[in-house]
Structure 1
Amino acid sequence: MRIGAHVDPVDPLAAAAERGAEVVQFFLADPQGWKAPEPRVDAAALIAADTEIFIHSPYVLNVATTNNRIRIPSRKLLLAHATAAATVGATGLIVHGGHVGSGEDLAIGFDNWRKTFAYAAEQGGFATRVLIENTAGGDNACARRFDALARLWDSVGEFDVGFCLDTCHAWAGGEDLLDIVDRVKAITGRIDLVHANSSRDDFDSGRDRHDNFASGTIDPDLVAAVIRAAGCPAVVETPGGTEGQSADIAYLRERLAQ
C-alpha cells in the first residue's frame, strides 16, 4: 500500500521526495476556477517517475446540479481534466460527488451523473478513470450518506467508474469508519484511493475541515485500519506543509507495518 500526499503542482516530484511520498496528488489548474488545464513541461518526467500520480479536479465542478450554467461546463471541464491527467500518467482523476439544490429531487442529480458518463462516451470516453469522492456535508449531496451513494452507483455503475474514500468526509458526513470499507465495497465493488485525513470537527458535523493525525478528532488508528482494509494507495490532504504531511505519512507507515 503506497502512501503519499496532496502537494503543490509547481514541482510535485520534488514535493514527494521531501515528504518521502510514494504517491502524489495535485491540481492541473486553479481548483476554484473554470480554466482548462495547460500542458505540463514535466509531463515526461511524471510519466517516467516511480511516484504514482493522481489528479484532483477543480472544486467548482458539480455535474449533478440542475443549474445548466454549472452542470454543462462541469461536464466539459471534467472531460478536459481526464484528458490532461492521461498526459501525465495519472492513475485516476478525483471529483467530488456533487449535489442538487435545496428542495430539489436528488434523483435528478443521479441521472445527471449518468448523463455525464454518457456525454463522455460520445466524446470517446474519459482518458483517465474518474474516481467519485464522498463528501462531508449537505442533505442534498449525491455521495455523503451511503444510501445516496448506493443510488448514485445504480446510475453510474455500468461505466468504468472508480471510488475515492475520504476519511474526514465520511466522519464529518456521519458514516462510521469502523466497517466503512466493507460497506463501500458492498455498494461500489471497489476503492481506488483513500484520502487519509483527520478532522477538526466532531462526528456528523457536516464540516469539511481536514486536520493532522496528532491533533484531529478521528482516532488515527481507525484511519490506518481503513487503509489496510481498502488495500489501495492513500494520500494525506492534511495541513502543515512538508513537516505536517511528512509526520502523517510516517505515522501511517509505522501503523501499517505492524
Structure 2
Amino acid sequence: MMYIGCHLSSSAGFFAMGETALSIGANVFQFFTRNPRGGAAKPFDKADAVKLVALLEENRFGPILAHAPYTLNACAADDGLRQYAIDVMKDDLFRMDHFPGAMYNFHPGSHVKQGAEVGIELIAKALNEILNPAQKTTVLLETMAGKGSEVGRTFEELRAILDRVELSDKLGVCLDTCHVFDGGYDIVNDLDGVLEKFDKVIGLKRLKAIHLNDSKNPMGSHKDRHEVLGGGFIGQEALLRVVKHPLLKELPFYLETPNELPGYAAEVALVRKAVAAVNK
C-alpha cells in the first residue's frame, strides 16, 4: 500500500488531524508535538488520542510521525539546553507511546564550534538517557542539509551516532530529499548510487520514513529551504522516481512542502497517480 501524507497542525487536536488527512486523500501525517520554536506542550488529551487510534485503524493508516521542536539541541554546549532537549523528548515519547506504530523524528543538533565528533558523542549520550527498553515509538534521526554546524550532514555522521547508542534497535533514520540534495547527495542523477551508499554506511533496514520535498537551492548548497514538488532544483521527475523506487516504495512519505491544504491535496494526488501508473 502507498503511504503518503503531509505535515498538519496539531492545534485542533489528534482526531481532527486524522479527519483532515482523510479529507485530502492522505493515509499518514506528521505533526509537531508542541510549538516548533519552543514552549510547553498542551496537556495530553487521552480521550482524543483514543479516538484518533480508532480512526487510524479503521482507515488503514500508516505510521503517524511526530516531529520534535526545532529548538531542541541535544549537543548544545550549554548543559541546560541539553537537559531541556532530553526532558522534552522524554515527555514526547511518553505521549507518542499512546499511538501504536508511531515514530518520532528529530534534528540531531548543532555542535556550535565544539566540532562534529563532540556533537556526535553528546547526541548519543542524550539518547542513551532518553531511550528505554519498554518504549514502543521508534525515534528517527533526520538527514540534515549541513547548514551551519548541523550534525547529521553525512550518512557517516548518522552512523556514528547509531554506533554509540545502547538501545539502537529503538532508532531509525528519516531521509529528507531536500536535505540530502542540499547536503551534496545527487538523488537527481544517481539515486541508485545514493541508496547504495546509504545501505553500505547505515543500512536500508534503518530507513523508516521519507520527507518528500523539493529544494529552492542547487545540490550541495547546504541551505535547507524546501520547495513544492517540481518547483525547485530536484524537480518533479526525480522526486517521483524516489517514490516509485523498488527499495523505497513501501516506506511512508511525508510532505513538508510550503503548501496549504489544497496544495497538499494536489501533491498527494500527484504521487498516488504516479505510483498507480507503475502498478498497472
* Counterpart amino acid of residue 216 in structure 1: G
Pair 1:246 & 2:260 matched: no
**Residues 158 and 119 of structure 1, relative CA distance in 2, 3 Å threshold:** closer
Question: Percent same amino acid among aligned pairs?
Answer: 28
Deviations 1:87-113 (A, max 9, x none): 2445200001212012x2211111112
- Does structure 2 retain, via aligned residues, the 8 Å contact 1:27–1:57? yes
Q: 1:136 aligns with which of 145, 153, 160?
A: 145
* Match runs of 1:31-180 below 5 Å: 31-40=36-45, 41-48=47-54, 49=56, 50=59, 51-52=61-62, 53-89=64-100, 91-102=102-113, 104-121=114-131, 126-138=135-147, 140-156=149-165, 159=168, 160-177=170-187, 178=191, 179-180=193-194
* Counterpart amino acid of residue 217 in structure 1: F
- Does structure 2 retain, via aligned residues, the 8 Å contact 1:173–1:203? yes
By how many angstroms is 1:213 displaced?
A: 1.2
* Counterpart amino acid of residue 134 in structure 1: T
Gapped runs of 5+ residues in structure 2? none
**Residues 157 and 4 of structure 1, relative CA distance in 2, 3 Å threshold:** farther
Pair 1:184 & 2:182 matched: no
Deviations 1:37-61 (A, max 9, x none): 5213520122112333111111111
What TM-score do the two structures reach when normalised by structure 2?
0.84
Q: How many residues align?
A: 256
Deviations 1:211-232 (A, max 9, x none): 1113222122322332333231
- Does structure 1 retain, via aligned residues, the 8 Å contact 2:70–2:107? yes
2:210 maps to what in 1? Answer: 194
- Does structure 1 retain, via aligned residues, the 8 Å contact 2:174–2:208? yes
Deviations 1:136-181 (A, max 9, x none): 1335322112332332333237512111000011111212212333
**Residues 126 and 39 of structure 1, relative CA distance in 2, 3 Å threshold:** same
> What is the alpha-carbon distance in structure 1 between the residues aligned to residue 183 and residue 272 of structure 2?
26
> What is the alpha-carbon distance in structure 1 between the residues aligned to residue 22 and residue 202 of structure 2?
33
Pair 1:216 & 2:232 matched: yes
Gapped runs of 5+ residues in structure 1? none
1:233 maps to what in 2? Answer: 252
* Counterpart amino acid of residue 200 in structure 2: A
